[in-house]
A and B are shown apart, each in its own frame.
Chain A
Amino acid sequence: MSDYYDIKKLCVLSRLEIDDSEIQQTDDKIKEIITFFNKLDEFEINEDNQNNQDVVITSNWSNCLKLEKKMNDLRDDVPQKKLDANYDIKEDIPFDLKLHNKKNGYVIGPRI
């Protein structure tokens, strides 16, 4: 890491737009940060430091963590307020919010 194409690739992955004129500066700063992260290469993970079990660890958390809902629980099928394209957000929120991407009762989205 890294050069012009790496940064461009990262921008595509991250869905970010960076101006060509800013690529060099971004590249320099990211390089600096990655070099700092490479410090971890100096750290050797071995059994001594990873499984340091000379102290028995009793977590206070274990007694406290309790799932109230089962993971596959579904919510009750309660009818909700009808939402359609003519739904006016102002009914729920007490301020003026005019959406410009609403036209003829439809929400306009970008082309896929």
Chain B
Amino acid sequence: MSDLYKLSGYEVSQKIKNQEISAEEYINLIYERITKIDKQINSFISKNFESTLLKAKQIDKKVKNNEKTGRLLGIPIGIKDNISVLGLKTTCASKILKEYVSPYNATVIDLLEKQDALIIGKMNMDEFGMGSSSELSHYGAVHNPWNIEYVAGGSSGGSAAVVSSLQVPVALGSDTGGSIRCPSSFCSVIGMKPTYGTVSRYGLVSYSNSLEQIGPIARTVYDIVLILNTICGHDLSDDTSINKQFDFTINSIDNILSKNYKIGIISNLIDSSENQVARAINKKIEKLKDYGFNVQETSINYSDFALAAYYIIATAEASSNLSRFDNIRYGFDFSPEGYEWNSYSSHVRSNFGEEVKRRILVGSFVLSAGYYGKYYLKAQKIRNIIKNEFNKLFKLFDILLLPTMPILPFKIGEKGSKPLELYNLDIYTILANLSGIPAISIPAGFSKDGLPIGLQLLSNELNEQKLLDVATFFEKDDKFNEWNPKI
């Protein structure tokens, strides 16, 4: 009974459905675990225990009365704090929104609740999703469950750490330049960024809306499939959402092998990674060869230029998106007495964190009349070139394989004052955001000091099933879903 928190989301829903446990019992157990563990991890910004417990009781009633139930029956889900949940605070880990309570649900929340999922709380993150370590939060850094002196990765660090530390089986994150995949790699869980447009962004607080996408984080590929089948689909409230039905599945290993996937190994990016990372990835490549996958080396050009282009686009969009936070429509209780309009706004906006302010300033600079062509326009052209390069590669390969992160998780505080060092960490993950393609990070082993390493798979737009197939292959082979930190 005490090991119930180790169950995957699917196993939990089956046990509740078969009345082996009640949803109420399970939520009480999970809450006990959260109270005990999260002091060390700091993955929650706000908890939703009372409301979750009430809903759990309703679920138990439904099961007892043999009523129709959803596919996520009784699964507690952590939600990144930039996704709106009715009646809960949506702070984006920022001081400026610390009192803001969302008056509506994001589309993804409605879809999850329709399938009887339970929203257990809001997860810690880098402020407005701007960071790769989850240290840049008004609520303090998220600690890595594998070694609490190290960062959990970011910006969805709370979502990855809460799943990794067995507090909840599933969480939602958002990925603007690797914000789901980086913490998934650092915390040894599975994180997926779907194709741009497959998941509605309605209710996601925008940072860079041409790049970001909501996606799931879980310990098993099956749970990823369950969540994708729930949240993917057309939404009238988001004009960028794709009008298509999605039905992902878990295929058998024989079926996966029979598809004879062509896998391109991005050797130039593997070679430029830290030694221990490269070694772990090469081991996985050998495994693919052993099983007869069609593996060939290839390379991606322009990745350095892609990083600069990414940050130009992201900061430009951030400067525009964050202009709405003027403390008139959103914000906290602050008396306007003694201020005129502009000074009030500027004064209140100084409550943004240092990195957010820096990105807004840089964004305003690259969009300014004299520099627009030099930076923003050129960045958009480079984005197009990167997309074309991927289109060429996906004519030759079904899947591209590379590390998720070029380095191992680092100690908290180690890179805090050097923005460019942090930006450089995103070099392998931003490619999928610039080109809108899907990407998944799966656990690939550990360093000699026990720090997690992640492997990243990319496929062409709307080819998520291929990623899920190869991830399933590695999961069956490595059993990485059983790797848990001692916490």
B29 on the interface (CB 8 Å rule)?
no
At the interface, is chain A mostly helix, strand, loop or mixed? Answer: loop
Name B359-389 residues within 8 Å CB distance of A.
360-366, 368, 374-375, 378-379, 381-382, 384-385, 388-389
Contact A111 B340, CB 8 Å, known A39-B304, A93-B87 = yes
Q: In this complex, what residue of A is CB-closest to B319?
A: A14
Contact between B362 and A110 (Cβ–Cβ < 8 Å)?
no
B460 surroundings in chain A (CB, below 8 A): 60
Question: How far apart sit A68 and B234, CA to CA, in the bound complex (Å)?
Answer: 10
Query: B305: CB under 8 A from chain A?
Result: yes
The answer for the CA separation of A69 and B236 in the assembled complex, in Å, is: 8
Whether A66 sits at the interface, judged by CB under 8 Å, is yes
Q: How large is the interface on B (under 10, 10 to 19, 20 to 34, 35 or more residues)?
A: 35 or more
Picked from B319, B344, B462, the residue with its CB within 8 Å of the CB of A110 is B344
Tell me, yes or no, whether B420 is within 8 Å of chain A by CB. Answer: yes
* Residues of the A chain whose Cβ atoms lie less than 8 Å from the Cβ of B291: none
Docked-complex contact A112 and B242, CB < 8 angstroms: no
Q: Is A84 an interface residue (CB 8 A)?
A: no
Across the interface, which residues of A come within 8 angstroms of B335, CB to CB? 100-101, 108
Please tell me if the beta carbons of A7 and B361 are within 8 angstroms of each other in the complex.
Answer: yes
Within B313-349, the residues touching A (CB, 8 Å) are 319, 323, 326, 328, 333-337, 339-347, 349
CB pair B242 A61 closer than 8 Å: yes
Docked Cα-Cα span, A2 to B358, in Å, equals 14
Complex: A49 Cα to B384 Cα, angstroms:
9
B339 touches A30 (CB 8 A): no
Give the complex CA separation of A61 and B363 in angstroms.
29
A16–B357 touching, CB < 8 Å: yes
Kindly state whether residue A17 has any CB partner on chain B within 8 Å: yes
B189-228 vs A, Cβ < 8 Å mask (1 yes, 0 no): 0000000010000000000000000000000000000000
Whether A74 is near chain B, meaning CB under 8 Å from some CB there, is: no
Contact in complex: A33, B420 (CB < 8 Å): yes
Which residues 1-31 of A have a CB within 8 angstroms of B?
1-2, 7, 10-11, 13-18, 26, 29-30
Q: Known A32-B420, A99-B333; judge A45-B360 contact (CB<8 A).
A: no
Nearest residue (CB) in B for A66 is: B243
Q: How far is the CA of A46 from the CA of B379 in the complex (A)?
A: 14
Contacts of A49 in B (CB 8 A): 385, 388
A95 touches B328 (CB 8 A): no
Q: In whole angstroms, how far apart are the Cα atoms of A16 and B345 in the complex?
A: 8
CB of B311 within 8 A of chain A? yes
B340 and A16: CB pair below 8 A? no
Which interface residue of B339, B362, B395 has the most chain A CB atoms within 10 A? B362
Which parts of B262-321 form the interface with A (CB within 8 Å)? Answer: 302, 304-305, 308-309, 311-312, 319
Q: Contacts A33-B362, A43-B302 given: A109-B378 contact, CB under 8 Å?
A: no
Which residues does chain B contribute within 8 Å of A97, judged by CB atoms?
A: 99, 101
Does chain B have a CB within 8 A of A72?
Answer: no
Complex interface residues of chain A between 53 and 94 (CB less than 8 A to chain B): 54-55, 57, 59-61, 64-69, 92-94
**CA distance in complex: A68, B99 (Å):** 36
Query: A65 to chain B: which residues have CB within 8 Å?
Result: 197, 242-243
**Besides A37-B312, A50-B381, A64-B197, 17 other A-B contacts (C-beta < 8 A):** A10-B361, A14-B323, A14-B363, A16-B352, A16-B357, A33-B311, A33-B423, A39-B308, A40-B312, A40-B379, A40-B382, A45-B381, A45-B382, A55-B388, A64-B242, A69-B236, A95-B101
| 6 A-B pairs with C-beta separation under 8 A | A15-B323, A26-B358, A36-B311, A39-B304, A40-B312, A45-B381
Q: Can you list the 9 inter-chain pairs with the closest CB atoms, starting with the nearest? A: A110-B344, A110-B336, A17-B350, A64-B242, A17-B346, A66-B243, A14-B364, A64-B244, A60-B462
Q: Which residues of B contact A (CB under 8 A)?
A: 87, 99, 101, 103, 197, 236, 239, 242-244, 302, 304-305, 308-309, 311-312, 319, 323, 326, 328, 333-337, 339-347, 349-350, 352, 357-358, 360-366, 368, 374-375, 378-379, 381-382, 384-385, 388-389, 391-392, 395, 419-420, 423, 460-462
